[in-house]
Amino acid sequence: MFNYFRNRKIRNIFSRFPSIDYTDKRWLIKDLKVREDRLRSTLHLHRSIESSLIADRIVLIDQAINILVSDNYKDNLEECMTIRMVYESILK
């Protein structure tokens, strides 16, 4: 049930993205940090091929956090797409 409401909030935020307010931006940063921590904690449980994919995902999430913190994404399409790539499966 929690995933339903979280995914709904993510879709709502990305319907206005990149013109989001400070609270939505802060919520996205918190969500990205939770996702990154969850992936880091399970990284040692996967095989080498899967762990390299998870490591790539962690790097992508870290880039998205840095982009949101730096606040340069509003005028840069490439940085907007980096952030969207993290949530690609939810936004389909």
Which DSSP string corresponds to 28-79?
HHHHHHHHHHHHHHHGGGS-HHHHHHHHHHHHHHHHHHHHHHHT-GGG-HHH
pLDDT at residue 30 in the model: 97
Q: Tell me if the pTM is above 0.85.
A: yes
pLDDT digits (tens, 9 = 90+) for 11-65: 999 999 989 999 999 999 999 999 999 999 988 887 777 888 899 999 999 999 9
- Is 80 exceeded by the pLDDT of residue 2? no
**Residue with more model confidence, 27 or 72:** 27
